[in-house]
Amino acid sequence: MTAGLNLLAAEVVERFYLFLWPMLRISALLATAPPFSTSAFTVRLRVLMAMVLAWFVYPQHDWPTIDPVSAAGVLEIGNQIFIGATMGLTLQVVVAALVVAGQALSAAMGLSMANMIDPSVGNVPVLSQALIVFSTLIFMGFGGHALLLSLVLQSFETLPIGVSVLDQDAFGRVIRWSAMMFLGAVLLALPVLVMLLFINIGLGVVTRAAPSLNIFAVGFPALIAVGLLVLLMSMGGIGERIEWLWLRGFEQLRALLRIA
């Protein structure tokens, strides 16, 4: 009886060691990738979702037997966490582009003063939060969440456990892709920024023509009103650019995971 229990306990421990490897990569992905990394997804939901996905992918592959407390096991734990986190951070570049675009628009329109008046808003401007919500709806609309989960499942074939690691070319690709947070922000905010530039030029001419005019009393309402109006009129084009950014992010992710 004791020998049977010992055999069962050893089998459970061995199964746990095998189940640990897909769990690590999926958990790292859910902890860093949008929209799963937002505060709306609590830690319990992420852990539960990671366990379910790992349970689905577990019988589809032959997992190597690696002792996680050995030197090779510790190295492989770091490798799996690094692969999953790199996948999530690749898509976080799109969110960073939205934040930078919102900060540029808020500074140009004068809405950044809200952070000084109401510190509870935090460091992310209201326009950035609105763009992030808008991008999340677009992400869910074209099935980005399902596409992301399918890519992480395919990654176990292209980057198997205990065999593959991210090479120098993958690091260079991620660094080059990170420049998109600035280029994407310019593409998103450019229509509104150009219109606000013309408004500032007009206010400068009015100030020179009537020096006694209070530029702050006239300039701030004009910039805010015109900025919000142009932003509302440009939402169609901004939505297309956001979708383009998400698709480019998935292209980079496929290249990173060596998926044809």
DSSP 20-46: HHHHHHHHHHHHHSTTTTSTTS-HHHH
Q: Which amino acid is at 111?
A: L
Q: What distance in Å separates the CA atoms of residue 155 and residue 254, rounded to the nearest whole number?
A: 9
Could you give the C-alpha distances from 16 to 22, 72, 158, 218, in angstroms and in order? 11, 17, 23, 67
Contact 92, 33 (CB under 8 A): yes
DSSP 78-139: HHHHHHHHHHHHHHHHHHHHHHHHHHHHHHHHTTTHHHHH-GGG-SS-HHHHHHHHHHHHHH
φ, ψ of residue 227 to 5 degrees: the values are: -60, -45
What is the CB-side half-sphere exposure of residue 11 using CA atoms within 13 A? Answer: 6
The residue type at 16: F
- How far is the C-alpha of 94 from the C-alpha of 243, rounded, in Å? 10
Tell me the pLDDT of the chain (260 aa) as tens digits: 554 545 555 666 666 667 788 888 888 888 888 888 877 778 888 888 888 888 888 777 777 777 777 788 788 888 888 888 888 888 899 999 998 888 888 887 777 666 655 554 456 677 888 888 889 899 988 888 888 888 888 888 888 887 766 777 778 888 888 888 898 898 888 888 888 888 878 777 777 777 766 666 667 777 788 888 888 888 888 889 999 999 999 998 888 887 76
Nearest to 128 by CA among 104, 157, 154: 104
| Structure-derived torsion over alpha carbons of residues 124, 33, 176, 182, reported in degrees to the nearest 10 | -20
